[in-house]
Amino acid sequence: MPSLVFLAGPIAGRRYKLADGEYVIGRRSDCQIFVPDMRVSRQHARLWKTGEAWEIEDLGSNNGTFVNGVKVQTATQIRHDDEILIANNRIRVETRESSPDSKLPGEGNVTIVNVTGNESLIRSREDSSSGRLPIVSSGILSVADQRAVRLLERKLDALTQILHATAASDTSEALIQKLVDALLELFPQAEDVGVLVEDERTGELKVQAQRHRKQSFGGDLKVPGTIIQHVISDRRGVLLGETADENDEGVGTRMGAPLIFHGVHYGVVYVESKHAGFRQEDVDLLQTVATQTGLAMHATRVAAQLARREKLERDLRVARQIQRSLLPANVPQVVGLEFAVHYEPAYQIGGDFYDFIWHDPSHLGLCVGDVAGKAISAALYMARLTSELRSRAAIARTPARLLRRVNQEIAQLGDDGMFATLVYCIYDLENRSLVFTNAGHCVPLLRRGDRVFPLQAERAHTPPLGVTQELEAGEARVQLHSGDMLIMVSDGILEARDARGNDYGLSKLSRRIRTARGKVDDVVKAILADIDSHCGDQGQQGDDMTLVAMSIDQRRAKRKTTTLPGAEGGTEAPDQTIDGDEDD
């Protein structure tokens, strides 16, 4: 099956398999190929299958789409081994299926000749699988040379056994178990062998595998501290020389070597003999075994990490689909009202949420919230919170009552440090009034004409949900007019940062809302474009971004306005009164 393989970027190593159909690449969470990179546009590029070929086009992105270094201007056909570049994301195209019966390429890459005349054809020997080549002494080799050849032979045996053990092991634990068995074969004089592995969390050495030639251990493996100290500090094999032979060469009964790869220390291999001694060639051999085992351990751990990462990413993709299913599939269809929504999690799944909830046929609830935290824990908390909001909306007719009842349930979850901020509004379709409460969330904004006002009132301030069992919730009422536009955002919008670390902020948001033209969809697009311009190429966004906007049809009659306290020069602003905080 054709695939796109990400070679560089925040999701390097991920493979997307392509079936028939159309695929959009972008950083919006609903893109078929989701790339969490701020340099990638929300809908950056599109690819589709035409006949037997695949084509790609750029969707008006800021940073462009390139195929083999050439910028895509129109629909461009892509082929096997082409490289797509989107910002810093390098993507390889794989359209060719590999099979065991693939033929050799016939374009001059491989030349095949027949063996004739004096040339000889050399085959492997029947017994070469053991890795041992017989040593034939001519009588000319010195004793030292014969020992060197014997050591080389033993090293070849050791490498062969380690390779077999690596091929047969899918975890470092299984590899180590096979290693201790191999050590008893490589060192006939050894009686006790063991492998100490460094704990990844504490850094403490712990015995992971041990063997005794005659019987199983009756207790823990005892390794001399001198060996541990020298092996770790010197990063090389150590033999404790206890005596000397007739050639004044050190002989010892205990030796160790480090399991190490590219400076990363994984543990220590220890071998002990009660009677027969080890020599220099033995500790050299043990060092060879330890070096190869360190490499094999590194490879198995990397493979395990990749497998865990792949499983986590697969779980996150499923969780993202589930979370998206919990959010509204469509905006409400209401005569006289227009809605626009943008939802963009910073990660596969996020803590932001929004909802539209009908309390009755004439009262529509709107909310935007943010759960403290990210990823799965925040998503689960969000799912519970939105479920409580929906289930209690019919019996709680005001925002303050609804939040008090929902908080009683959320506070009982007992998740340490978990809480949620949100703005909840109820819009009355008959008299165009809006009642709202703000539980520690970003201030909603109201555009009226060429002015933008923050919807805030002292009595509408409410603590975040989930902090305390008893929530002191208040609410405020504002009269809306035809032509008004309500904008609710999460903190990811206000805290989007540029290269210098400056937030986008409420003032820039208000200015862009005031100057934007067109329908509510156009205003939302203008805000997002302004945020992109502010942030520039900042890589992955730091927080979820959610924006919900509602506009009242311009064709409807205007309503009464008064002057909002604090507005400049008696500027017209929303009528605002405070409802009493009724008890349930």
Q: Token pair of 303, please?
A: 């493979």
Q: What is the pLDDT of residues 346-381, one digit of tens each?
A: 765 667 889 999 998 889 999 999 888 656 677 778
CA atoms of 425 and 343, how far apart (whole Å)? 19
Q: Token pair of 190, please?
A: 């050894």
Q: Which CATH code for domain 2-95?
A: 2.60.200.20
Cα distances from 54 to residues 23, 80, 507, 549, 550, in angstroms, run 11, 10, 45, 38, 40
Q: Which CATH code for domain 149-215+223-243+251-303?
A: 3.30.450.40
CA atoms of 559 and 479, how far apart (whole Å)? 8
Helices (H), 337-429: 375-392, 399-410
**What phi and psi values does residue 301 have, to the nearest 5 degrees?**
-70, -40
CA atoms of 403 and 471, how far apart (whole Å)? 8
CA atoms of 207 and 195, how far apart (whole Å)? 6
51 pLDDT band (50/70/90 cuts)?
confident
Cα distances from 575 to residues 284, 450, 478, 555, 578, in angstroms, run 88, 17, 5, 21, 10
- pLDDT at position 203: 78
- pLDDT at position 552: 92
Q: What is the pLDDT of residues 67-121, one digit of tens each?
A: 999 999 999 999 988 999 998 899 999 887 544 343 333 333 322 223 334 332 2
What residue spans define the domains of the chain? 2-95, 149-215+223-243+251-303, 327-559
Q: What is the pLDDT of residues 166-187, one digit of tens each?
A: 666 667 788 888 888 888 888 8
Would 2-95 and 327-559 be classified into the same CATH topology?
Answer: no
Asked whether the predicted pLDDT for residue 453 surpasses 50, the reply is: yes
Q: What is the pLDDT of residues 230-245, one digit of tens each?
A: 888 778 888 886 666 6
Q: Which CATH code for domain 327-559?
A: 3.60.40.10
